């Protein structure tokens, strides 16, 4: 039987040629052995013919061999690549934008000159956009994936949305309900093409256009249809971005949908309180899912993208501010406090789940930090006075402690640890500001405080929180640690000053007040000298500079306030005490002053 298969015939021919080559090699070897040893100097090596593998047709090759791709080559930006970029992409998108602008200009010209009636203009614009959409889709599917095809589709979608605006709001040709249906069809088309082609720009036009349909069609901001449409569009957008992992699209969707949700809440906060809160929680859940879901799929320990943490911050602000405002307008302060603590618990639970199930340690720490911060806001609403200061101080310390358990890798942007430290600094600043404004204002150094107990409690809480923040910040950012330690030392000095003035300086008028200021000058001088000596012993330039700064303040006080305001005996005591203490300090400095470069040879000690 004759074999007519060309591939099998080719294989048999290759096999026979290999056998002939091997037989020739054996014959040549025998002839050389019969002719005797080679002459001296003839070092021609025996050539063994390479063994050739039999030819295997592509259809019979292993799948791994067929699918093997050449290794990627390094691409240097050459003139040809720049030409290809400009000619293939830039021109395509500029062309698509030009088509859209040209269509808009044509509509404007037709309107101004009255060439055609409103219905005809709208139909022409719609048919032209649909034709461009079909042409772009055909080019993409039939002629290969090109930038020109995607640019045509993007221009067509934009044209359809613009036509929808004219048909509903400008000309009133179709009712609002029909406009919403047409808008949903346009958005669905954009969603489908974006997923099929993995095109981010088409996805942006489809999703952001869908979220804007209620605005484009003129639906009232307080309408239930409007918020329902935006919610459905937001859910579809979140599903697509999680599928394709387009994190930036979540932030864009938040910027478009959140203002519409806020407008709807403002219009309905008095009539449907619990419905408003439910819608608010639903939108917040979609935002968190968008930021949380991408990391859940990736399960990476890399730093959280800027879009994710911005979305988490924005969604937390959206949830807390809108919900609290609704409850506050209803006059229910207790419910507002519960809302703050409930929001805090939700973020703490999400953060704990992200860390527990190893979704992403960074995003988990960020959510826990948000939860702690919201708890601080709840405490601010529930407490007052020193208790509030202590709560804020504890929140600052907790955020600083949490910063040590997150990524502190230096980067051009702030790391998660640095962001948590920044949040802790904000709460510590709130505690210090409240203390200086209410419990222990600056004039207390002269006149004392109204109630010594709350003042001492608030200052103690601030000092303890600052020391704690400095301790934890030392492993994240050295400058922050030094600043927190200086703040803690200043709080302790301020506490001692108020204690002296309030117990000695304001018990009665006259000599008691004078004595309090003398003791205050001596306290500042002794504390400054002690810091200088401690810095000398510990080889810490920061401590020495702090002590010298306090000494400068003490000298300025004695030469200005004491000299002008105190009586003769008090002035004498202030100057003599200051002089003696400064002489002792100068002697100590000369005896134990550090040599050149001493601070660099030994490790610096913190305050």
Whether 574 is in a domain gets the answer yes
pLDDT score of 302 more than 70 = no
Tokens of 61: 């090759």
Residue 454 contacts residue 385 (beta carbons within 8 Å) = yes
Whether 184 is in a domain gets the answer no
The 3-state secondary structure of 252-270, one letter per residue? HHHHHHHHHHHHHHHHHCC
**What are the pLDDT digits (tens) for 422-481?**
888 999 999 999 999 999 999 888 888 888 899 999 999 999 999 999 999 888 788 888
Q: What percent of the chain has pLDDT over 90?
A: 21
Mean pLDDT within 141-155: 76
Number of domains in the chain: 1
pLDDT score of 177 more than 60 = yes
Whether 540 is in a domain gets the answer yes
Whether 330 is in a domain gets the answer no
What's the CA gap between 137 and 115, in Å, rounded? 31
What's the CA gap between 15 and 555, in Å, rounded? 105
What was the pLDDT predicted at 95? 64
What was the pLDDT predicted at 42? 45
Place of tokens 């054996």: 26
pLDDT band of residue 300 (cuts 50, 70, 90) is low
pTM over 0.85: no
pLDDT band of residue 103 (cuts 50, 70, 90) is low
Mean pLDDT within 382-393: 88
Sign of CA dihedral 27, 33, 35, 39: positive
Whether 305 is in a domain gets the answer no
Tokens of 123: 């139909």
CA 257 vs. chain centroid, Å, equals: 19
Mean pLDDT within 519-528: 87
What's the CA gap between 141 and 355, in Å, rounded? 44
Residue 415 contacts residue 426 (beta carbons within 8 Å) = no
**133: exposed, middle or buried (C-beta count within 10 Å: 0-12, 13-18, 19+)?**
buried
pLDDT band of residue 297 (cuts 50, 70, 90) is low
Whether 573 is in a domain gets the answer yes
What was the pLDDT predicted at 40? 43
Cβ partners under 8 Å of residue 458, min gap 6 = 385, 386, 389, 390, 431, 434, 435, 439, 440
pLDDT score of 390 more than 50 = yes
Q: Domain limits at 555?
A: 508-607
What was the pLDDT predicted at 38? 47
Whether 122 is in a domain gets the answer no
Q: What percent of the chain has pLDDT over 70?
A: 75
Whether 582 is in a domain gets the answer yes
Residue 292 contacts residue 354 (beta carbons within 8 Å) = yes
What's the CA gap between 167 and 151, in Å, rounded? 24
Q: Please, what is the end-to-end C-alpha distance for the chain in angstroms?
A: 100
Q: Which of 46-50, 93-97, 126-130, 253-257 has the lowest mean pLDDT?
A: 46-50
What's the CA gap between 309 and 287, in Å, rounded? 11
User: What number of other Cβ atoms are within 10 A of residue 574's Cβ?
Assistant: 26
pLDDT band of residue 150 (cuts 50, 70, 90) is confident
pLDDT band of residue 536 (cuts 50, 70, 90) is confident
């Amino acid at each position: 039987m004759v074999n007519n298969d060309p591939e099998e015939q080719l294989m048999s021919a290759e096999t026979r040629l290999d056998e002939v080559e091997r037989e020739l090699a054996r014959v040549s070897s025998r002839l050389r052995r019969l002719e005797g040893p080679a002459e001296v100097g003839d070092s021609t090596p025996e050539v063994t013919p390479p063994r050739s593998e039999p030819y295997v047709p592509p259809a019979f090759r292993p799948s791994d061999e067929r699918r093997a791709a050449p290794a990627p080559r390094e691409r240097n930006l050459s003139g040809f690549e720049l030409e290809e970029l400009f000619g293939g992409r830039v021109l395509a998108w500029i062309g698509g934008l030009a088509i859209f602008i040209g269509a808009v200009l044509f509509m404007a010209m037709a309107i101004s000159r009255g060439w055609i009636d409103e219905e005809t203009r709208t139909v022409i614009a719609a048919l032209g956009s649909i034709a461009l959409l079909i042409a772009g889709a055909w080019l993409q599917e039939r002629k290969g994936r090109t930038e020109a095809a995607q640019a045509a589709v993007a221009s067509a979608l934009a044209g359809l949305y613009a036509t929808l605006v004219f048909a509903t709001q400008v000309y009133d040709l179709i009712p609002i309900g029909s406009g919403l249906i047409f808008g949903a069809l346009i958005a669905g088309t954009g969603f489908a093409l974006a997923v099929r082609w993995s095109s981010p720009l088409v996805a942006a036009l489809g999703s952001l256009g869908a979220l804007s349909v209620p605005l484009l069609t003129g639906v009232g901001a307080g309408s239930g249809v409007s918020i329902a449409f935006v919610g459905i569009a937001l859910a579809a957008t979140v599903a697509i971005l999680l599928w394709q992992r387009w994190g930036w699209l979540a932030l864009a969707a938040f910027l478009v949908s959140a203002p519409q949700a806020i407008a709807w809440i403002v219009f309905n906060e008095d009539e449907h309180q619990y419905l408003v809160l439910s819608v608010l929680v639903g939108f917040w859940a979609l935002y968190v899912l968008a930021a949380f879901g991408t990391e859940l799929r990736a399960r990476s320990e890399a730093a959280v993208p800027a879009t994710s943490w911005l979305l988490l911050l924005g969604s937390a602000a959206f949830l807390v501010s809108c919900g609290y405002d609704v409850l506050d307008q209803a006059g229910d302060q207790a419910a507002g406090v519960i809302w703050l603590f409930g929001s805090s618990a939700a973020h703490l639970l999400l953060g704990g789940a992200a860390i527990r199930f190893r979704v992403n340690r960074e995003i988990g720490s960020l959510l826990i930090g948000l939860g702690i911060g919201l708890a601080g806001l709840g405490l601010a609403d529930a407490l007052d006075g020193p208790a509030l200061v202590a709560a804020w101080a504890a929140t600052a310390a907790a955020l600083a402690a949490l910063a040590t358990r997150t990524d502190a890798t230096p980067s051009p942007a702030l790391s998660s640890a640095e962001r948590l430290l920044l949040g802790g600094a904000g709460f510590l600043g709130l505690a210090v500001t409240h203390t200086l404004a209410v419990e222990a204002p600056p004039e207390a150094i002269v006149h004392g405080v109204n109630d010594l107990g709350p003042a001492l409690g608030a200052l103690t809480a601030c000092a303890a929180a600052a020391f704690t923040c400095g301790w934890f910040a030392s492993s994240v950012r050295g400058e922050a640690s030094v600043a927190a330690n200086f703040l803690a030392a200043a709080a302790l000095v301020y506490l001692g000053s108020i204690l002296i003035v309030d117990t000695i300086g304001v018990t009665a008028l006259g000599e008691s007040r004078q004595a309090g200021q003398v003791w205050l000058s001596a306290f500042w001088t002794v504390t400054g000298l002690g810091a200088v000596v401690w810095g000398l012993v510990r080889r810490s330039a920061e401590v020495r500079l702090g002590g010298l700064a306090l000494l400068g303040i003490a000298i300025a006080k004695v030469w200005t306030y004491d000299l002008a305001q105190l009586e003769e005996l008090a002035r004498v005591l202030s100057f003599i005490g200051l002089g003696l203490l400064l002489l002792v300090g100068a002697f100590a400095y000369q005896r134990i002053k550090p040599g050149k470069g001493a601070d660099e040879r030994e490790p610096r000690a913190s305050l």
